[in-house]
């Protein structure tokens, strides 16, 4: 059975061969070891798609939402999109990159008055189509060749808006200039909605991912009332074209969900949740108990277990997910956000290998428990 068929059945809780693996890999070592990436070489974007796809296939990753370029951070592409589709002045923005991350180091405004003078323009649907349609068709062609699943992805309107303004100015404007925030979220929301509409017409899989970081480590960064009044209607712009085709919608936010979880699952009616960050933030088993019919993506810890643990820690945490959630279905196993450069290559490979080895249906829970008992004394950070 091809992977996209497995995903289609798994989303419906129908019988499949095994649990699917899912992740975003931004780990140069994995691209080098499993995909043949060489930093001394120059690559076209088509080359990078092929290298990523080869790495995913060889390491055991079934599904992803992104292509990793170790040289050019995705934040630069975001600024390019604002220039191209929102008409912002290209001379007044700058991105700096270091240590595997990037940030906007210069904006053409610093206060509400400056923001008002530098508002984005609404995107045009045909401009977005001209850019996105060839991309998704090419992705589908390559991923189909490798029997991999590409999940369409968009930025959430709130997250994209506060990235445009910066967080401090966004929070100030929520109270002092809400009309500015509404306009910016209209622009960012329509941009993502247009992508969703085009993706629905040329879907690579029956699933769309929306990245909308609305939570921090202590809980939601915005009130539930703001989310219900300002975010949910714009989220529906993005979700509606997907749901109208019978596809599923996956909501991403890092951090501790708290009061945002009912907004995501009950008010908005997202089908699934990612990445269910651990490290004192969320308990995936409690979430499954409260929302047993929702799809869960993650949640092997990429803050502790994957970068700091040994291979047995990674194996044990993965086995626990298979043991406790696998029998009910609706679990897609990967990291609790991304497989970043601080994760040893062998730890990442162990996670996927464990799913392939123990996540085959019908699950052998006794075998899983026996293996966990066997490696218990070899654990490093999961002993307690």
What distance in Å separates the CA atoms of residue 293 and residue 289, rounded to the nearest whole number? 9
pLDDT in tens, 195-206: 999 999 999 999
Confidence of residue 79 (pLDDT cuts 50, 70, 90): very high
What distance in Å separates the CA atoms of residue 306 and residue 344, rounded to the nearest whole number? 8
Q: Is the pLDDT of residue 221 over 70?
A: yes
Check residue 97 and give its pLDDT: 84
Kindly state whether residue 383 falls inside one of the protein's structural domains: no
Check residue 170 and give its pLDDT: 99
Kindly state whether residue 200 falls inside one of the protein's structural domains: yes
What b-and-e string marks burial along 165-196, b requiring 16 or more CB atoms within 10 Å of the CB? bbeebbebbbeebeebbebbbbbbbbbbbbbb
CATH (domain of 284): 3.20.20.210
Angle at 117 between CA 112 and CA 121, to 5 degrees: 115
Confidence of residue 384 (pLDDT cuts 50, 70, 90): low
pLDDT in tens, 31-61: 999 999 999 999 999 999 999 999 999 999 9
What distance in Å separates the CA atoms of residue 352 and residue 345, rounded to the nearest whole number? 11
Kindly state whether residue 39 falls inside one of the protein's structural domains: yes
Kindly state whether residue 64 falls inside one of the protein's structural domains: yes
Mean pLDDT calculated for residue range 359-381: 98
Enter the tokens of residue 258: 């708290």
Kindly state whether residue 384 falls inside one of the protein's structural domains: no
Q: What's this model's pTM, rounded to 2 decimal places? A: 0.97
Kindly state whether residue 224 falls inside one of the protein's structural domains: yes
What distance in Å separates the CA atoms of residue 174 and residue 158, rounded to the nearest whole number? 11
Q: What DSSP string describes 227-257?
A: IIIIIHHHHHHHHHHHHTTT-EEEEE--S--
How many other CB atoms sit within 10 Å of the CB of residue 1? 10
CB 54 within 8 A of CB 34: yes
The count of domains in the chain is 1
Half-sphere exposure of 377 (CA within 13 A, CB side): 1
Check residue 98 and give its pLDDT: 81
Q: Is the pLDDT of residue 92 over 80?
A: yes
Mean pLDDT calculated for residue range 147-168: 98
Kindly state whether residue 100 falls inside one of the protein's structural domains: yes
- Residue 100 belongs to domain spanning: 3-378
């Amino acid at each position: 059975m091809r992977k996209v068929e497995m995903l289609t059945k798994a989303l419906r809780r129908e019988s499949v061969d095994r649990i699917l693996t899912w992740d975003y890999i931004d780990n140069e070592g994995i691209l080098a070891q499993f995909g043949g990436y060489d930093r001394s070489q120059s690559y076209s974007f088509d080359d990078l798609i092929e290298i990523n796809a080869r790495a995913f296939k060889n390491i055991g990753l079934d599904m992803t939402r992104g292509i990793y370029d170790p040289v050019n951070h995705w934040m630069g592409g975001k600024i390019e999109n604002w220039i191209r589709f929102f008409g912002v002045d290209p001379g007044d923005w700058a991105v700096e990159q270091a240590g595997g991350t990037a940030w906007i180091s210069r904006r053409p405004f610093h206060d509400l008055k400056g923001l008002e003078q530098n508002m984005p323009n609404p995107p045009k649907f045909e401009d977005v189509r001209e850019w996105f349609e060839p991309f998704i068709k090419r992705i589908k062609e390559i991923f189909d060749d490798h029997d991999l699943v590409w999940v369409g992805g968009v930025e959430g309107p709130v997250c994209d808006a506060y990235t445009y303004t910066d967080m401090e100015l966004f929070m100030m404007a929520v109270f002092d200039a809400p009309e500015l925030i509404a306009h910016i979220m209209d622009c960012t929301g329509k941009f993502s909605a247009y992508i969703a509409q085009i993706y629905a017409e040329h879907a690579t899989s029956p699933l769309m991912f929306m990245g909308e970081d609305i939570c921090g480590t202590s809980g939601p960064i915005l009130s539930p009332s703001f989310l219900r009044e300002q975010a949910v209607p714009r989220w529906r712009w993005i979700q509606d074209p997907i749901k109208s085709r019978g596809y599923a919608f996956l909501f991403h936010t890092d951090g501790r969900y708290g009061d945002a979880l009912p907004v995501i699952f009950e008010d908005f009616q997202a089908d699934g949740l990612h990445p269910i960050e651990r490290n004192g933030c969320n308990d995936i088993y409690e979430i499954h108990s409260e929302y047993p019919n929702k799809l869960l993506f993650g949640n092997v810890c990429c803050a502790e277990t994957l970068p700091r643990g040994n291979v047995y820690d990674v194996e044990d945490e993965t086995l626990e997910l298979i043991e406790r959630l696998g029998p009910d279905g609706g679990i897609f196993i990967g990291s609790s956000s991304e497989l970043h450069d601080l994760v040893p290559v062998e730890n990442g490979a162990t996670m996927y290998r464990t799913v392939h080895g123990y996540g085959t249906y019908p699950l052998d829970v006794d075998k899983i428990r026996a293996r966990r008992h066997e490696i218990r004394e070899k654990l490093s950070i999961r002993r307690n």
